[in-house]
Structure 1
Amino acid sequence: MGLRERKKLATRQALQSAAVHLVLERGLDSVTVDDIAAAANVSTRTFFNYFASKDDALIGDGPLLYSDDARQMFADGGPTGDLLEDLKVLLLSPVTDNDDPEPLFDRVHMLKRIVQKEPQLGPRVMASFAAAETALAGAVAARLGDDPENDIRPQIVAAIGTTAMRYSMRRVKCRGGADTAADAADLRHEFDQVFDVLKATFTATSREL
């Protein structure tokens, strides 16, 4: 990522992390947007450049959010030219492109605790995955030259990618803190397994046909 993208991503992650920490500490109803902005050392105006509400900051865009640069590389056919491999690279890019993924894994770990503590947020979490899947379908459609709303291919590929992400994140413990490197390694391992199975399955099926 470029420096500007890194700064934007760092600010977004700082706001999300602040929201999660504060809600775990005080409870959802006792945290305001001003509290979150102050904890992240930004202005309330800056907060609203990234999120529409405290719930949006709390849930974010699903556990992992790739950058505009990573999305564009994927849409342009990179980095390898193989669709499944590049899909894996795109979905893992928040970890592999991040110099310090510790805040990201800490937030995922705490978000699991948030949903347990504030179960009314469960539907919002599911909605964030749905929105992420729609956005991913747009990237796939741009790469394949399809219509993201009316063509089946980008929707199916996006559904596979989102399912792979959810499955892998569920299997990773997300210990956070000093174990961030282990979390990142676990996630990459899970992704490698998932996409190896997908490739082997589709290749074998194609040969049978």
Structure 2
Amino acid sequence: MTDDLGRREQKKLATRRALADAALRLCVEKGFDQVTVEQITHEAGVSLRTFFNYFSGKEDAVVAGDAATAEALVAAFARRPTGEPVLTALHAAITEVLPAHIDRTQANQRRALRRIPALLPHQLAAFAAYEQQLAEAVAGRMNTDTDTDPYPATLAAAVLACLRVAVQRWLDASSSADRPSLAKSVDAMLTLLAEGFDTR
């Protein structure tokens, strides 16, 4: 029974990712306004009904790739040893997740699509949800409550901001020769955070 449940969950995740990848790819190729949900489902090889089991519209599908990264980060954080300091555990979790979930081509595509006004509310809602998920994971590890203790939410927001800055710097490098690895960029940002930005 457990194996069956595990396989079903993996199939659901694969379907969700296929739809998100198809939505992103088509919107980049054709332009956001020119893409329909029907085209996305055809590209992903699923039915319209299946699409709406996962997303309310194409806007949510386009921003869903970041959700998969956030979910993987929370899961990796939960697996870290219980005695490990919170920021150290988050740093290790990000390092684990990056290779499989941050693709340079897709990251550039997502950044281009973020300039579309119709997507802004969906992006803001998604980012808020990611921060909340991570804050709750931090609170659980610390045996505290996000309603009464501001530390988990503050740390989650700061860590995700560091990750966004690291990805942006990685994407903005003019050439591969000038481009630091994403892992090194993340290390630099999180080191600044750990030091409290008081070294200058």
Same fold (TM over 0.5): yes
Distance 1:48 1:75, change over 3 A: same
TM-score normalised over the length of structure 2: 0.76
**Aligned match of 1:84:** 87
TM-score normalised over the length of structure 1: 0.73
Residue type of the partner of 1:190?
S
**Aligned match of 1:124:** 122
Contact 2:70-2:130 at 8 Å conserved across structures: no
Contact 1:108-1:174 at 8 Å conserved across structures: no
**Aligned match of 2:66:** 62
**Aligned match of 1:207:** none
Which region of structure 1 is more displaced relative to structure 2, 73-82 or 156-165? 73-82
Distance, in Å, in 2 between the alignment partners of 1:138 and 1:14 is 28
Instruction: Structure 2: give runs of 5+ residues left out of the alignment.
Output: none
Q: How does 1:42-121 map to 2 (within 5 A)?
A: 42-60=46-64, 62=66, 65-67=69-71, 71-72=74-75, 74-75=77-78, 77-78=80-81, 81-96=84-99, 98=100, 101=101, 104-116=103-115, 118-121=116-119
Distance, in Å, in 1 between the alignment partners of 2:192 and 2:74 is 24
**Aligned match of 1:195:** 190
**Aligned match of 2:171:** 173
Spell out structure 1 runs of 4+ moving beyond 6 A: none
Contact 1:168-1:190 at 8 Å conserved across structures: yes
Higher relative contact order (CA 8 A, sep 6+): 1
Contact 1:66-1:94 at 8 Å conserved across structures: no
Displacement of 1:87: 0.9
1:136 to 134, 137, 141: 134
Distance, in Å, in 2 between the alignment partners of 1:168 and 1:186 is 10
Displacement of 1:189: 0.9
Distance 1:93 1:8, change over 3 A: farther
1:145 to 143, 146, 166: 143
Give the percent of matched residue pairs that are identical in Structure 1 and Structure 2. Answer: 32
How many matched pairs?
191
Distance, in Å, in 2 between the alignment partners of 1:105 and 1:55 is 21
